Amino acid sequence: MRQDIIDLIRTSSGENLQYFHQGSEEFLQTQNGVRYPVDGNILCFPETVTLTGNNKNYQKMYDRFSAFYDLATKGYALLKNGNEKNRLVQYLNLLNIENGDKVIEISIGTGRNIKYLNSAADYFGVDISLGMLKKCQRKMKRLHREITLIQAEAESLPIRDESFDVIFSAGGFNFFNDPGKAVNEMLRIAKSGVKILITDETEKLRLKYSKNEFYKANKVRQPAEYLPDFCKNIEYKEICDGDLYVLTFCKP
Ligand SMILES: C[S@@+](CC[C@H](N)C(=O)[O-])C[C@H]1O[C@@H](n2cnc3c(N)ncnc32)[C@H](O)[C@@H]1O
């Protein structure tokens, strides 16, 4: 594992980690001997085994749904926007990724956004669902794209402060147990001046499917309500015919 990746990771309570590769076993370990397994290049943080509330439910749901996720989302984009790229670039084009940037997607899922982004940047992805992360890992291999994947909660990122040049989250915000905590974590790991982007489904889209049991249980959040006062350049707009909102804001 790259040393700069080991240097960027720490436990969610702030402890340093060392990397070990013993036989076929790979793991990160704290000074007190607590081990964090590396499962085929996915860094696993055990907090994700004892999730509660929404996070527990959606982890279970996405582990099950991971095999069909790409097919379902591609089909939807095909119907609504002609193809997947036409839909995703409506928010991805707002990211302005430069060569060599450290980029992280929070709630990365199967990584469908990554293939439309600058391949000369250094990518990381966080998700609670190991099923989605494994799918993502296989896809990135096929696309010859290097990526570091971390199984952790958006609300508790095992990452050092001020580590990233680009931070975004697509499709996860309406699910998070604690959206305010997730926003604070994104701000914490952003370098100074960095733009953060959050996109998810709007209330308008949910109303179209108001009889659907899944949508009834899952409420739409107004992400701007969770931003601390110090955020700068806050912009909100709707895209994809009002299906999605995009909120961007900067860390001072
Ligand atoms: C609709 S999918 C979006 C996946 C991907 N970003 C995309 O645009 O296709 C939502 C993802 O959010 C993840 N997720 C939900 N709650 C989370 C949390 N609290 N922390 C991290 N990931 C979470 C789910 O496991 C799932 O993979």
What is the predicted pLDDT for the residue at 238?
96
CB atoms within 10 A of CB 221: 18
Atom of ligand 1 nearest to the CA of 54: 16
CA 238 – CA 205 distance, rounded (Å): 11
DSSP code, position 191? P
Report whether residue 62 contacts ligand 1, using a CB cutoff of 6 Å. yes
What lies within 8 Å, CB to CB, of 7 at 6+ separation is 160
To the question of pTM greater than 0.85 for the whole model, the response is yes
Q: State how far the Cα of 97 lies from the Cα of 35, in Å rounded to an integer.
A: 34
* Ligand 1 centre distance from Cα of residue 226 (Å): 18
Average pLDDT over residues 45-50: 71
In order of their start, the domains of the chain are: 39-250 (3.40.50.150)
For the stretch 211-241, pLDDT in tens is 766 666 677 888 899 999 999 999 999 999 9
Q: For the chain, what percent of residues have pLDDT higher than 70?
A: 95
Distance CA 117, CA 146 (A): 12
Reported confidence tier of residue 250, pLDDT bands at 50, 70, 90: very high
Q: What is the mean pLDDT of residues 148-152?
A: 96
pLDDT per residue as tens digits for the range 99-146: 999 999 999 999 999 999 999 999 999 999 999 999 999 999 999 999
Instruction: Place 48 in a pLDDT band, splitting at 50, 70 and 90.
Output: low
Counting ligand 1 atoms within 8 A of each CB, the residue from 58, 103, 147, 218 with the most, and so the one to mutate, is: 58
Comparing 71-75, 201-205, 237-241, which segment has the lowest mean pLDDT?
201-205
Count how many residues are written for the chain.
252
Distances from the Cα of 140 to the Cαs of 4, 41, 77, in angstroms?
A: 20, 12, 21
For the Cβ of 10 lying below 6 angstroms from any atom of ligand 1, the answer is no
For 222-231, b where at least 16 C-beta lie within 10 A, e where not — what string? ebeebbeeeb
Residue nearest to atom 17 of ligand 1 (CA): 176
Render pLDDT for 166-189 as a digit per residue (tens, 0 to 9): 999 999 999 999 999 999 999 999
| Residue with CA nearest ligand 1 atom 27 | 109
